[in-house]
Amino acid sequence: MSGIRSGFDEEDGRMSMGRRKRRQESLFVATAELARSAGHPFYRKLNELLAEAEFDRWIEGRCEPYYEAADKPGRESIPPGTFFRMLLVGYFEGIDSQRGIAWRCGDSLSLREFLNYAPQEPTPDHSTLSTTRKRLPPEMFDAVFQFVLKIADEKRLLSGKTVGVDSTTLEANAAMKSILRRETGEDWKQYVGRLMKEEGIVAEQHEPTDEEIRRFDQGRKNKKVSNDEWVSPVDPEARITQMKDGRTHLAYKAEHVVDLESDLILAAEIRPADHGDSQTLCDSVLKAQENLQGAEIETEIEDVAADKGYHSAGMIELCDSLGLRTYIPEPKLKHNRTWTDKSPELQWAVYENRRRMRRTKGKRLGRLRSERAERSFAHVCDSGGMRRSWLRGLVEVTKRYVIAAAAHNLGRIMRRLFGVGKPKALQGLRALAALTQLIAMTISIAVANSHDRFIAPLNRFAVHTLTRYHVLTQSQTTVRSTDC
């Protein structure tokens, strides 16, 4: 056996290859030997921010009436602060389902540190999240949203006088194949089969095949799927609508009221998808004002900017009566408006809105609304995992969405204070550094080969990239990435 080498030989530097072995579980493991994480720098700073505002003590006091007394028998629930932190993780990690949130929190050591769980302690599963969410009323989720607004106001990051309003669609947890007729309770196949029998295409006692139903349905004229005639049995509050990508699906409507100065969401409302924009604008703005008052912020909303889909004479007149100045572009009409059968107040409100939109301020607010309201949907719905809901019912969907909007506001606060708004933000710095090195190498090669016509443009691009990299690194010196 003397000719067989194993391990590392210090004399000649050779090393034998390690092979994967069947793992033998230890009978006892000391707690000190368990793997620990230093924690993700973003979540550490977020915990410091919440601790500074005494979030856990506040939320436990607010949630106490919804639980049994401490002296009564029964298993203790997870702390309310832990529950809401796990929902925040769903936004920051881009996870749309509670199962995914529970798995991620149990798998990541840095998230365990964020939730204050030791390595040997089990983290809450998805059923615990569902039970806690159903136990707490919607007012508690609104209170958490207002608590975050209060943090922003204390950090002097909130203005609140000028807001932008916009809406988008969220895919509901229900399929179009499951819809039923409201009057008869028939599904789509039964409904089309009945139409075929009424037109005499098939005999009364004959049941048409799936192929016959599809062929007849494709050639049928004036067919439509109306919310007045069809309903989903699994989620009756979801509405049939056309999504942003053109698909027809059961969906909800999400509407944001965004502070155009600070980029913070002041209200995030979930409504049935068939509610028009002009019907819900005033309600959403009033909800934003209610959230400001709930956060003990004395700011009054004065200016409201929206797109032309919100333009309605009655809605503009209502906003004017509430003391709100609207900045809404007017859609092009084939004919001039007729005011003979309308009140002078209605005409005056529409003309004043038209006059404001012609000003420089109206055009500037229109650009700001397009940028910041749309960006809030990109953060919450697309990268925040809320474009598709896995919950059912208007109340339950609203609970989850409101916390996602609160997480967005926390991200904006973190970005202003520490330079990073999401835990994955620092990963872009490495790509920028690698691009800078590549540009430097390309310039050196161009100089060596006397390619003068390439050097000047590359130099200008390199200077711009290096400047951008320097600004980002200087603004984020307080946060370091640990690849957690």
DSSP codes joined into one string, 377-397: HIIIIIISS-SB--S-SHHHH
Separation CA 440–CA 408 (nearest Å): 37
| HSE-CB of 324 using CA atoms within 13 angstroms | 27
**Is-above-0.85 flag for pTM?**
no
pLDDT at 394: 95
Q: Tell me: pLDDT of 268 over 90.
A: yes
pLDDT at 411: 95
pLDDT at 128: 93
Q: Tell me: pLDDT of 450 over 60.
A: no
Q: Which residue has the higher pLDDT, 338 or 463?
A: 338
Residue in the block written with tokens 């004919």: 335
**Using 50, 70 and 90 to split pLDDT, how confident is the model at 482?**
very low
DSSP codes joined into one string, 301-322: --EEE--GGG--HHHHHHHHHT
Query: Above pLDDT 70, what percent of the chain?
Result: 82
Sequence spans of domains, the chain: 35-136, 140-174+238-418, 180-224, 427-475
Detail the DSSP E strand segments found in 196-264: 230-231, 239-242, 248-259
Q: Tell me: pLDDT of 303 over 50.
A: yes
Residues 315/282, Cβ–Cβ less than 8 Å: yes
User: Mean pLDDT, the chain, as a whole number?
Assistant: 85
Q: Is 1 helix (H, G, I), strand (E, B) or coil?
A: coil
**Using 50, 70 and 90 to split pLDDT, how confident is the model at 212?**
confident
* Tokens, residue 42: 């973003």
DSSP codes joined into one string, 38-96: ---HHHHHHHHHHHHTTHHHHHHHHHGGGS--TTSSSPPPPPHHHHHHHHHHHHHTT--
331-362 confidence digits (pLDDT tens):
988 888 888 888 999 999 999 999 999 999 99
H-helix or E-strand spanning residue 267: strand 265-272
Q: Tell me: pLDDT of 386 over 50.
A: yes
The sign of the dihedral angle between the CA atoms of 392, 148, 296, 134 is positive
Separation CA 19–CA 16 (nearest Å): 10
- DSSP label of 34: S
Query: Above pLDDT 90, what percent of the chain?
Result: 58
Q: Tell me: pLDDT of 133 over 80.
A: yes
Give whole-number Cα distances, 298 to 153, 254, 319, 320, 410, in Å. 10, 26, 20, 21, 21
Q: Which of 12-21, 173-182, 217-226, 448-457 has the lowest mean pLDDT?
A: 448-457
162-184 confidence digits (pLDDT tens):
999 999 999 999 999 899 999 98
